[in-house]
Amino acid sequence: MAEVLSASQIASYRDTGYLLLESHLSAQIINNIRDEIARFEDESRSLTESNDRLELEDGHSAEHPRVRRIRLPHKISHVMQDLMYSDHILAPARDLLGPDLRLHTSKLNMKSAENGAAIEWHQDYAFYPHTNDDILAIGVIIDDMRSENGPLMVYPGSHKGPVYDHHVDDVFAGAFTPQEVGLNPKDAVELTGPAGSISLHHGRIVHGSAQNTSSHSRRILFYEMMAADAFPIMGSLTSWDGIEDYNTRMLCGKPTLTPRLKDIPIRIPQPQPDVPVSIYEIQKGLKKSGFE
Ligand SMILES: O=C(O)CCC(=O)C(=O)O
């Protein structure tokens, strides 16, 4: 018996690999997140380089702070931690993945007005292959997401296809160009919706987002999670500090020591480029943008 999703929403997710739940969160929750973002932007004024909390965009200065990502917001913001453990987030995830869920990571991508960076096309599963692919990301849409401000885009159904090669010159680049693997850009879908909506995308779906050239920011808070019986394959970009630490990442339900194995394509994201662990830096290895 599902908690919040209808049978047709679940069927649609299985078929296309994504869902958008419009106006799922109250204005109060979104305003609280915006206040937290303002606090972190203020904190960034004293920084000249990224640290383990805040990743800075080129051109950042104390007068004009430009943060492109808040790292692990659930660890540094009670507002974003409380939301992560709430049924607003976990009930739809349980409807799709089952009762036992483990956090992979959280991040808040800020695509600032005028020049917020593109995220090149990729599959999350290429970064962190696991023993099965009951893996998804929930995106909390903080600003109205429109065609013009670099919305999240997906290739519907691509979660059932190959795991594409995300390497360039034999080094993991965390991205590929859809045209080069036979995907037709016309098939990509924009996930647009008002602030307070949430997106859910499958760990294997091909997705990305173009540069924001509009005068409106586009900020999304992501919680990425998996069924507790999906274990990282060695070489996966999953932090591993022993089973006790791993189990502190349980979001709900029970951990297990029995991984579930599914016969799915796997590509190990190694060797890694010699850059900071950041999708923006890793993807600089791609020679040609998929958004040109
Ligand atoms: O922020 C976006 O548009 C996409 C983010 C994403 O796919 C990622 O950070 O892995």
Rounded Cα distance between 64 and 215, Å, is 15
Domain limits, the chain: 7-285
- Look at ligand 1, atom 10, and give the residue with the nearest C-alpha: 124
Rounded to the nearest angstrom, the distance between the alpha carbon of 119 and the centre of ligand 1 is: 6
Rounded Cα distance between 24 and 143, Å, is 13
Per-residue pLDDT of 43-90, as tens digits, reads 999 999 999 999 998 889 999 999 999 999 999 999 999 999 999 999
Average pLDDT value over all residues in the chain: 95
Rounded to the nearest angstrom, the distance between the alpha carbon of 289 and the centre of ligand 1 is: 15
Rounded to the nearest angstrom, the distance between the alpha carbon of 208 and the centre of ligand 1 is: 6
Contact 188, 18 (CB under 8 A): no
Q: Is 76 helix (H, G, I), strand (E, B) or coil?
A: helix
Rounded to the nearest angstrom, the distance between the alpha carbon of 109 and the centre of ligand 1 is: 7
pLDDT score, position 275: 87
Residues 6+ apart with CB under 8 A from 168: 285, 286, 287
Multiple choice CATH, 7-285, 3.40.630.30, 2.70.150.10, 3.30.420.40, 2.60.120.620: 2.60.120.620
221 lines ligand 1 (CB under 6 A): no
How many angstroms separate the Cα of 25 from the Cα of each of 28, 134, 191, 198? 8, 24, 16, 8
Question: What is the pTM for the complete model shown?
Answer: 0.96
Residues of the chain where predicted confidence (pLDDT) is lower than 50: none
279 lines ligand 1 (CB under 6 A): yes
